[in-house]
């Protein structure tokens, strides 16, 4: 079976936090930065259909009276699949090109994996970010010098983003750790 899409996992994670309908989910996606993973009904409803066919979510009983609504909740299989997804160790590609997906996993992993696993993932992330940053800086100091000025500037924007991530991850590990000792 092929992998589920990022959007599918995002929906699954939100349902893990709170059973709700496709319409509710869509409102969430429109209202928050999670909308990057698409906020159109033409993506959300088919994704919910896929999750249902996989047996990862199931719709509750149809409400008697009131509007037609399908309130989905994750099945045990769905919870397990979601736990596997959020527990993935970050790959270099996650760091360099799918940071948003990694942050989605972080945002939704609370209550799903043990604090020790969260720490582990954040530690791996820190190492990978530092390494990636070093490679970008090396490029900038070396072959990057030959690029046109505007190309260099655009590249620096990328470097600054990664620097911001490197700083963030240190704070995040502290905050996540503190919470654990409560």
Partner DNA sequence: GATCACATGTAAGAAGTTACATGATTCT
Partner DNA sequence: AGAATCATGTAACTTCTTACATGTGATC
The contact mask relative to DNA for 99-138 (x = CB under 7 A, - = no) is: ----------------------------------------
Q: Does residue 177 belong to the site contacting its own copies (CB under 8 A)?
A: no
Q: Does residue 54 belong to the site contacting DNA (CB under 7 A)?
A: no
The contact mask relative to DNA for 66-85 (x = CB under 7 A, - = no) is: xxxxxx--------------
Residue bearing tokens 């959020």: 86
In 62-155 the beta strands, taken as DSSP E runs, fall at: 71-74
> Nearest distance from residue 8's CB to DNA, in Å?
6
**Residue 72, beta-bridge partner list:** 20, 59
Cα–Cα nearest to 20, from 82, 72, 62 = 72
- As a whole number of angstroms, the distance between CA 17 and CA 11 comes to 10
In 52-146 the beta strands, taken as DSSP E runs, fall at: 57-59, 71-74
Cα–Cα nearest to 90, from 56, 126, 115 = 126
* Interface with its own copies (CB under 8 A): 32-33, 35-36, 96-97, 99, 103-104, 106-111, 118, 136, 139, 147-151, 153-158, 160-161, 163-165, 167-168, 171-172, 175-176, 179
Q: Which residues bind DNA (CB under 7 A)?
A: 2-8, 21-24, 26, 37-38, 40-43, 45-50, 65-71
């Amino acid at each position: 079976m092929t992998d589920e899409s990022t959007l599918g996992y995002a929906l699954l994670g939100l349902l893990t936090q709170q059973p709700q309908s496709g319409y509710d989910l869509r409102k969430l996606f429109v209202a928050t930065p999670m909308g990057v993973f698409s906020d159109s009904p033409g993506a959300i409803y088919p994704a919910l259909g896929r999750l249902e066919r996989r047996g990862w979510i199931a719709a509750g009983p149809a409400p008697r009276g009131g509007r037609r609504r399908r309130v989905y909740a994750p099945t045990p299989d769905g919870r397990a699949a979601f736990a596997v997804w959020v527990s993935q160790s970050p790959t270099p590609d996650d760091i360099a090109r799918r940071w948003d997906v990694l942050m989605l996993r972080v945002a939704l992993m609370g209550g799903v994996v043990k604090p020790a696993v969260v720490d582990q993932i954040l530690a791996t992330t820190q190492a990978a970010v530092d390494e990636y940053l070093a490679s970008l800086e090396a490029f900038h100091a070396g072959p990057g010098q030959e690029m046109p000025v505007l190309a260099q500037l655009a590249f620096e924007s990328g470097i600054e983003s990664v620097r911001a991530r490197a700083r963030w991850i240190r704070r995040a590990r502290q905050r996540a750790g503190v919470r654990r000792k409560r």
